[in-house]
Amino acid sequence: MTRRLVRFSLIAASRELLVDWMSAMVWNGSTVGSAGEFGIASGLRSMAPPALLSQHLAERPMWQLDSQVERVLASPGVRALLGVAALGELVADKLPSARSRMAPRPLLARAIAGAVGGGVLMHRARQPALMGALAGAVGAVTGAAAGYHARQALTRSGIPDSAVAVLEDLLALAIARRAIYS
């Protein structure tokens, strides 16, 4: 009983911290909030949010892409590579041999994905890309930690890991989509 209470208290505290952080990131029509949301999604799944952003940018005419990063992300080769990587990650995450997202390399990859996406979203909104990159990186680390602890708690409570992983996939895609299209 006490362990369960501690687990749910940790989840509630993580959720409250995440909500407070997201509320603090609202600025200029919540552009920084969108960058932070993109980062959170990247913390949950490192490849799916960049793949969605790449697809979104590819749907724009090339003349509307005014930064080199946007043009690279919109290119057919990068779009295909990110799509394959996202699908691979969605499958690999369900395997028992999947590495912890909290290990240094996966965490760094998530922070980079969040920073690039957050920077692009801010740049597209004509806001400082550096602010978006920072919000995206912080969001990614926050999302990775919150996702890790929530998944651990839910699987310990008896929910199958694969079910929690699928819910996490859907949550990451929904958050990324909201960040990109808001």
62: exposed, middle or buried (Cβ count in 10 Å: 0-12, 13-18, 19+)? exposed
Please give the residue range of the domain that contains residue 26.
Answer: 2-181
Per residue in 91-144, pLDDT (tens digit) is 999 988 888 999 999 999 999 999 999 999 999 999 999 999 999 999 999 999
Is pTM beyond 0.75? Reply is yes
- Residues of the chain short of pLDDT 70, as ranges, are 1-30
Number of domains comprising the chain: 1
Contact partners, residue 154, CB within 8 Å, separation at least 6: 164
